[in-house]
Every structure is written in C-alpha cells, then in structure tokens.
Amino acid sequence: MGKPYSGDLRERIYGEIAGGESRRAAARRFGVSAGTGVRLAQRMRDSGSLAPARQGRPSGGGKLAPHRELLIGWVEADKDITMPELAARLLAERQVAVDPASLSRFLCAAGYSFKKNAAGERGRSR
C-alpha cells in the first residue's frame, strides 16, 4: 500500500489551484501526477480538508466475525481441535469456507495461543 503525500505538499499544490492555476498545471509544477491535483481539489471540495483518508479495510469485519462466539465455543469445548477440523466443521454446519490459516489468525486476534503444558500435552490457552 502506498504512502500518502505529505500535508505540506498537499497544501502547496492546493494553494496553486486556489490561486487560479489549473489542477493539472499545479500538479505538474510539483512533480506529481495530474490525477493527484484533480483528486486533491475534489477532496477539498467534498470534505473541506486536504488530510489523507484512512487506508485499508476497517478492522473487525470479515467473514468470520459473525461466527465469533460459535468458534470460541467450539475451541473452549475441545481445546485440542485442529485448524483443519475447525474449518471442516464450520463448512459443514454453517456453509462458510475458510482457510485454516485464517482461523488461526482469527483465534490469535481473539487472544488464544497454542502452547504445550508442562506434561508436553498440547492445548489452547486464552
């Protein structure tokens, strides 16, 4: 994912546009694409700010979010359940196909980790 232009550069480009320069000419003067000048002017018109918008997808979404309590319940009931078993069960009971690695990341984000106890047995802890 690219990085946004600095606020200083955004202000200088928009200052040229507000001063009567065309959007494309202002962008050319500062060595950025013509589209950047156009988008900056549109952003100022629409939001009143030149600050860059937040990048990326908002957290908390995804196809596993609606099944959070169910998945945690299954893990609590069977601490030795594997990710492929969990994925197969989710597919069978809820018709939601997910990769086992996605389930692992989801459970790690929920506070679970895979550890061995002192006896060398596997188990999930929270």
pLDDT digits (tens, 9 = 90+) for 11-25: 999 999 999 999 999
Who has greater pLDDT, 126 or 25?
Answer: 25
CB neighbours of residue 86 within 10 Å: 20
Comparing C-alpha atoms, which of 112, 119, 2, 116 is closest to residue 56?
A: 2
Mean pLDDT lowest among 35-39, 67-71, 96-100, 113-117: 113-117
pLDDT tens by residue, 59-82? 777 889 999 999 999 999 988 888
Give the pLDDT mean for 88-107: 93
Q: What is the pLDDT of residue 119?
A: 60
Q: What is the pLDDT of residue 109?
A: 87
Check whether 26 has a pLDDT greater than 90: yes
Rounded CA gap, 110 and 72, in Å?
A: 9
Comparing C-alpha atoms, which of 67, 72, 55, 125 is closest to residue 94?
A: 67
**Single-letter residue type at 73:** G
Q: What is the pLDDT of residue 120?
A: 56
Q: What is the pTM of this model?
A: 0.53
User: Residues 14, 44: contact at Cβ < 8 Å?
Assistant: yes
Element (H, E) at 99: none
Q: How confident is the model at residue 6 (pLDDT cuts 50, 70, 90)?
A: very high
Q: What is the pLDDT of residue 56?
A: 82
